[in-house]
Amino acid sequence: MENQKKDISRRQFIKASAIAVGSVAAIGIGVKYVQKYDDKADFQKILRPPGAILEDDFIYACIKCGLCVQICPVQAIKLAGINQVLSYGTPYINVRNQACDFSCDSLQCVETCPTAALNFVQFKEEGEKAVEEYDKTHDYKNPGYNPFKSQIKAMKEAVKMGTAIVHEKTCLATNGKGFKGTPRGKDFKGIYRSPNGKEAKASPLATKEFDREICDLCVTECPIGEIAIIMDKTESEGKVTFKPKVLDGCTGCGVCVMVCPTEPTSITIEPKKD
């Protein structure tokens, strides 16, 4: 009986070891660990950082070094666990917890990527074009010469992580409701830099109070501005209605999702498909 128990234990050990070795090998070559989608699953978990190349290429190009995680000033980027719908160890952003607010002003995650899994070239090109346009109307000899603001703006606007989707049934604005207070509560840990220009760096959402007759936080707190999302006002038969309208300039940064006060959120990000 004792020998039989030892034999069973030995077989179990060998089986477990084989699974472990196979898992490590699969992780090393970028094989996806896939779990079955739950309809209620948070789709934001599979949003890649700015500049991510096509997903099928990304999982092989990314060496899981974690540099993008370390350099992100708002700690928006996380590494996927083995039980998530991603290749293990690759970076993702859950914008409901912490959005990419562009407060680094230089797309540091993309710039620091050693393999171009996060491709910086497209943003560099947009930045160079912006500097060229700036130089057409500004004299570099003048004391106020500063093309970098235009360059930073152009690089941010070139980002395309995904597109925001408004869910009208629960959206406060589309239901004619306002909002007063702190959107996610005093215990929420997410931070961002307000686009009103008064903040030098990101600060906690939990410290910010709003009082809006019609909720428009997804619009006013967007770091990209009116090329990304606006509040669409419609008048019909004496009735005025409002609806957040997502435009082509939306980068999928997810700040709108993070600040949305409804639970679950009334705006989500659909990751880019190509």
Residues 92 and 132 in one domain: no
Give the model's pLDDT for residue 26: 46
Residues 252 and 199 in one domain: yes
Residues 129 and 98 in one domain: no
Percent of the chain with pLDDT over 90: 72
- The answer to whether residue 19 is domain-embedded is no
The torsion angle over the Cα atoms of residues 130, 133, 138 and 143, rounded to 10 degrees, is 10
Residues 150 and 36 in one domain: no
Give the model's pLDDT for residue 149: 93
Q: How many domains does the chain have?
A: 2
Instruction: List beta partners, residue 243.
Output: 232
CA–CA separation, 95 vs 272, rounded Å? 14
Residues 105 and 141 in one domain: no
**Boundary of a domain, candidates 132, 159, 186:** 159
CA–CA separation, 271 vs 85, rounded Å? 13
- The answer to whether residue 2 is domain-embedded is no
The conformation of residue 23, written as its DSSP 8-state character, comes to H
DSSP for 103-140, written as a single string = TTSS-HHHHH-SSSSB--HHHHHHHHHHHHHHHHH--T
- Strand runs (DSSP E) across 158-266, as ranges? 162-166, 179-181, 191-192, 203-204, 210-212, 229-236, 239-246
- The answer to whether residue 7 is domain-embedded is no
Q: Is the pLDDT of residue 22 over 70?
A: no
The conformation of residue 47, written as its DSSP 8-state character, comes to B
CA–CA separation, 261 vs 180, rounded Å? 10
Q: What residue type is 117 in one-letter code?
A: A
Average pLDDT value over all residues in the chain: 86
Residues 112 and 206 in one domain: yes
Residues 141 and 208 in one domain: no
Residues 133 and 260 in one domain: no
Residues 60 and 135 in one domain: no
Residue-wise pLDDT tens digits, 219-233? 999 999 999 999 998
> Which tops the pLDDT comparison, 262 or 198?
262
Give the model's pLDDT for residue 116: 93
Give the model's pLDDT for residue 34: 38
Give the model's pLDDT for residue 127: 95
- The answer to whether residue 267 is domain-embedded is yes
Structural domain including 145 reads 120-159
Give the model's pLDDT for residue 10: 52
Residue-wise pLDDT tens digits, 131-185? 999 999 999 999 999 999 999 999 999 999 999 999 999 999 999 999 999 999 9
